[in-house]
Structure 1
């Protein structure tokens, strides 16, 4: 089933189209954005102007054509309106015009409903843990604050401090003056006091930011550092130090100079100023050291909530806060690539047994154990492209498969381990490997060595190896196999692939059947 979700925001209208199917899960088909600024001038007047309404309706007509071309049934098109339309006195006039001209029925949601949908969307993109996270979504009219962990939500708030509202209300000079900055900071502090107090009492481990403003800030930071700012930023982060460098560089500039900056969306040239001041205050008031970026927010949350209500969709997505989005995302990518599930799961099981048995030798922590499991599950998905060089294709697919819940560095480690499950071992001549931090290259060395042997021990695809025990005799490393049948074929294949792990662990390896 294909579903389209349209978010009629203060700054821009967005639409995302997804397909939900068993095994493959939710796959994004298309997304589109039109920054029409429906809230232009309405913050103070509480009236949507006629020109903005016409632009909005034209954008919605284009969205509906695109949704139809992508095979979305009209009853599976969702449309929610937020702050600017929510507050407009002529809200009903606009909604009726939309319905008359497009047939689309738009639901106006409250600030708390908006925060709840944002929570669903963020939770589906960034892995939550036991500790509490502060989530915030910077819109044009409002900013939503959520405090939650993987067990559920402790705070939902919506505050009228969106960037378009703040620009219209407080900023009258270009560049912004010190007095205007001070007024904004005081206003932000007053509006965020309850969220700050809740964060202090509950205890917040980190912050997760969604919305175009947060992504734009992250892209500008990357551009300043000479890093490619294209592609997904999901689960990436920027530190307080990195942000403050950007803040100091941008705030003194006028709009002409800002417009020349790489990474800044042309239509956010003015909006970025209150956005930067707001994020600066969030860093300070919540005493944060870094902010994680989520590319999933309101629209994705709308879809997840809708699918929750709609059989035969899988109800766990919204109902179960304990949902492991990392494992689910890895498995979905495997299904999309037509993986051999039984083989991949057997290789993963052997890999994890080896990791545990070799722990005294490699010294890697449980975080790398988890990444090894995902690498093992996805090591063969490159056969979806071709058998030849499929290890390289696996690396490419993992890097570009939009795995949810993983930071860019984690995705790179998983992709590199899968890349080296066969053929040549890791080398500084390979850009993808050389780009990694030194500690991550060390981890890839160990994990790829383990995966190579585990893959060899499943050479016959018959799940013969039931367990593996590692015995370090000092002069050599013995891997003792418990098998269902004679393991000659498995040992023969593993012998051909063991040399890299021997090099990494400084031990010759011998296989024995128990």
Structure 2
């Protein structure tokens, strides 16, 4: 069957169309993205602005039309931290449903971590042993750890690259004091949850998902995305530590000229690098492997798990 997953995230609205069947891996058929940056459309009270809601409605409606054109039988629509934490989230969800017919399911941060962990587990398989998962989104950092498909521990922290950039790094390039203050804050927040995971023992394999980790891996020498999903890509902590001061001294335009860095994400890359560096350091990770599957694939896999056997 042809499924669509509509991901309303802090940075983008992404419709992923896949051909999927129980017991088989989902095969991507089409991808439709629109940069919305909801995390940057909040007013002083933490509400998504009227202009932001209008843009969201238009974008969701367009994604629904694309899904119909592509023959999607079932769309799985969900929203993450930008809508989850907006002070007017209920009103936003109501307006989207009334004007587009799409009822967005708001995932909790822990749900995000668990579904992303499921995707990573399915990708790497049982032989990977105990997995530690790190995922840096636009609005939050998800962490999960476990041996099975359901993690033993999962957490979500408000340390997304977009959120931190708009709230803590106003300059272009940002000021040295701002970078130092954000580094302290990020490390303090991650340190609060480290023991929740390390008490289970050292992981056998550490994986990173999300655009931030993929971009960091690319600028530190990993293979290009055009080389395919099955090329192994790693990110070393030592290389991230070398790149943080370089990124801090660059403008967004200069970062956009780096390999694998899109113009729309270039401003966020420094904040994402600070989170990646801190998480890898505090969890004692020397290197992690990039996982091409993440939250959207986890949502699809969970849906397939609940389909009746043919």
TM-score w.r.t. length of structure 2: 0.90
Residue in structure 1 matched with residue 226 of structure 2 by the alignment: 230
Contact 1:15 1:299 in 2 (8 A): no
1:166-209 deviation per Cα after TM superposition (whole angstroms, max 9, x unaligned): 11221122222332222222211222124322343222234211
Residues 244 and 270, structure 2, Cα contact 8 Å, conserved in 1: no
- 1:238 is paired with a residue of what secondary structure? strand
Note if contact 1:215-1:233 (Cα within 8 Å) is conserved in structure 2: no
Aligned match for 2:120, one of 96, 106, 122: 122
Higher relative contact order (CA 8 A, sep 6+): 2
Deviations 1:36-61 (A, max 9, x none): 11221428531111222222222222
Residue 332 of structure 1 corresponds to: none
1:140–1:165 Cα contact (<8 Å) kept: yes
Aligned with residue 282 of structure 1, among 276, 279, 284: 279
- Partners of 2:41 and 2:52 within 8 A in 1: no
Q: Does 1:255 align with 2:252?
A: yes
Alignment partner of 1:141: what SS?
Answer: coil
1:18–1:30 Cα contact (<8 Å) kept: yes
**What SS does the corresponding residue of 1:241 show, helix, strand or coil?**
helix
> Separation in 1 of the partners of 2:303 and 2:8?
17
Quote the residue 1:90 is aligned against: 88
Question: If you compute each CA radius of gyration, which structure gives the higher value, 1 or 2?
Answer: 1
Matches within 5 A, 1:257-336: 257-312=254-309
Distance (whole Å) between structure 1 residues aligned to residue 108 and residue 23 of structure 2 = 34
Structure 1 vs Structure 2 CA RMSD: 2.2
- How many residue pairs get aligned? The number is 308
Contact 2:117 2:150 in 1 (8 A): no
Greater than 3 Å deviation, 4+ residue runs: 21-25, 127-131, 231-235
Shift of the 23–148 alpha-carbon distance from structure 1 to 2, 3 Å rule, reads: closer
More displaced, 266-275 or 210-219? 210-219
Q: Which residue does the alignment assign to 2:208?
A: 209
Which residue, 111, 125, 143 being the options, matches 2:141?
A: 143
CA contact (8 A) 1:15 1:63 kept: yes
TM-score between both structures, scaled by the size of structure 1: 0.56
- How far residue 229 of structure 1 moved from its aligned partner, in angstroms, is 4.8
Partner of 1:13: 13
- Which one of 134, 140, 143 corresponds to residue 132 of structure 2? 134
Corresponding position of 1:413: none
CA shift in 2, pair 1:9/1:174, >3 Å: same
Give yes or no for contact 1:174–1:254 (8 Å, CA) kept in 2: yes
Q: Structure 1 residues 130, 211: CA separation in 2 closer, same or farther (over 3 Å shift)?
A: closer
User: Counterpart of 1:30 in 2: which secondary structure?
Assistant: strand
**Which deviates more from structure 2 when the two are superposed, residues 195-204 or residues 103-112?**
195-204
